[in-house]
A and B are shown apart, each in its own frame.
Chain A
Amino acid sequence: MNFPGIGLLKGFVVTARNFLGSYVEKDRLTTRQYPEERPKLPENSRSFPFLVFDGEDPEAGMRCVACKICEKECPPQCIYIIQDRDAAGKPLKRPRIFDIDISVCMSCQICVEVCPFESIRMDTDYELSSFDRFGSLVLDKSKLLKSNAYYHGIHPTEASETDARIEADRKKKEAAAAAKAEAARKATAEKAAKAAHPPEETK
C-alpha cells in the first residue's frame, strides 16, 4: 500500500468507468426493458412439458400412447394419465386424461428423456402466471397438445433430429413388415408349388 486512500481512489475509478461506460459500451449496460424487449432464448431452453401431435388434428395425430412411463418416472409426480377405452371397455393406445400440474413440475426434463414415443417435449413459454392458483396451473390435454410445427418453431435442431429418428424407425418397421410379407408370400408360393407337384416319396 502506498499512502492511505489510494485503494479507495482506484475503486472509484472502476465505478466511474462502469458508470460512464454504460453510456457507450453495450457490455456494461446490461439492463433489458423486459416486457417491451424480450431476450432471445437459446434453443435448449426449457420451461414446462407439452405433448406433440402430428398433422392437423390434435386427437388423431397424438403421439402419446398412454404407456405411463413418464408418470412413473416423474420425480415430483406431477403427471396424471388415464388410458382411454373404447365402447367395449378395451384399452386404447391413447390417453383419455393427461394432466400436468405445473405448480408441482420442476422442469427437470426427465419425462422427455424417458418417453420412448418422442411424444412429450419441453416448451419454452415462461409467461404462465395467473390469478387462479389451482385451476389454471393444472394443464389438461387440450392445453398440452401442440403441433409438430410448433415444436419445430421452438427447438428446430432437436425437432429435426426427432423427425429423422421417427422416419428411420418407420422405415425400419416398413422394411421389416415388407420382409415378413415377402417371407410369407414365398412360403405360400412354395406350399402351392408343393401341392401342385407333390414330391416323390422316399422310402
Chain B
Amino acid sequence: MTEILEAIQSAFPSADVGILTNPSPCAQHSLLVAGKDALDVAKFLRDGLGYDFCSNVSGVDWPPKKVREVVVRKETVDGVESEVKETIEREVPGYLEVVYHLFSIAKRLGPVILRLRTGNRSDEVSLPSLTPVWKSADFQEREIYDLYGIHFEGHPDLRRLLMWEEFTDYPMRKDYVAPDDYEYEPTPHDEILAKVGPPKEVA
C-alpha cells in the first residue's frame, strides 16, 4: 500500500493523499484522497498502475458524533496553582464517504481501496464522479446518489436508481426514519410499535 502511495505522490506531488489504516485482522488499508485530486489519482491508478477493474462502490454515512475528552487545565486560585480535570464534549462533524474497491485483472492484484469524503452531510456533498474512468461505477454512483445523497459531478446520467423520482429523502443515512405507511395488520406488534412512538412525517 505504501508503494502505491509513493507512486501517486511522485506522480502528483501536490495531491492530498494519505493512508487510512484498518484495525481489522484482514488489514485492508485504504487510500484517503481529497475530492479535488480524485480524478487524477483514479486515472493514474488505472493507466499507470493497472487497476483497471473497479469492482465495488459503496457509500458510508458518518453522522456527527460527540466525543468526550478529558482535558487537564492549570488554574490559579488565590495564588495556588492546581490542575483541574475537565470533561469536554467535542462535536466531530459528520461526513459522507464513498469507497471504491479496485482490482487489477491483468496483474491479479487488489483490492486497492480508495476513499473520498464530502465536507459535511448537508450542503457540501459533491464529489467528482469516477464513472469516466471506470464505467462500472455508473449504476453504483447513481445508487449512492439515491440512497445517500452524494452529488457526483461529471456523472453522465445522475438520477435516482432504486427509489422513485419524486422521493426526496435519503434512506440509507443513519438518521433516516422509515415512514409508517405499510399495510395495517392486527398483529401483536402493535404494542411494540406503540413503544417506538409515532413515526416521523415524511414529505
Contact = CB atoms under 8 A, between A and B. Distances in A.
A168 B186 CA distance: 43
A101 B188 CA distance: 8
B188 A99 contact: yes
A118 B168 CA distance: 47
B68 interface: no
B178 to A, nearest CB: 14
B189 A80 contact: yes
15 contacts: A77-B192, A80-B188, A80-B189, A80-B192, A97-B188, A99-B187, A99-B188, A101-B187, A103-B185, A104-B187, A134-B185, A134-B186, A134-B187, A138-B187, A138-B188
Given A80-B188, A80-B189, A104-B187, 15 more contacts: A77-B189, A77-B192, A80-B187, A80-B192, A97-B188, A99-B187, A99-B188, A101-B187, A101-B188, A101-B189, A103-B185, A134-B185, A134-B186, A138-B187, A138-B188
Contacts of A103: 185
Nearest to A82: B188
A138 B188 CA distance: 9
Nearest to A97: B188
B156 to A, nearest CB: 38
Interface in B146-203: 185-189, 192
Contacts of A99: 187-188
A80 B190 CA distance: 11
B183 to A, nearest CB: 10
Nearest to A138: B187
Interface string A72-108: 0000010010000000000000000101010110000
A158 B188 CA distance: 31
Nearest to B186: A134
Contacts of A138: 187-188
A97 B187 CA distance: 13
A46 to B, nearest CB: 22
B145 to A, nearest CB: 29
Contacts of A80: 187-189, 192
A77 B193 CA distance: 12
A149 to B, nearest CB: 29
Nearest to A104: B187
Contacts of A101: 187-189
A134 B188 CA distance: 11
A97 B192 CA distance: 14
A173 to B, nearest CB: 34
> What 10 A-B pairs are tightest by C-beta distance, nearest first?
A80-B188, A101-B187, A99-B188, A134-B186, A138-B187, A134-B185, A80-B189, A77-B189, A104-B187, A138-B188
A77 B188 CA distance: 11
Contacts of B188: 80, 97, 99, 101, 138
B195 to A, nearest CB: 12
A47 to B, nearest CB: 19
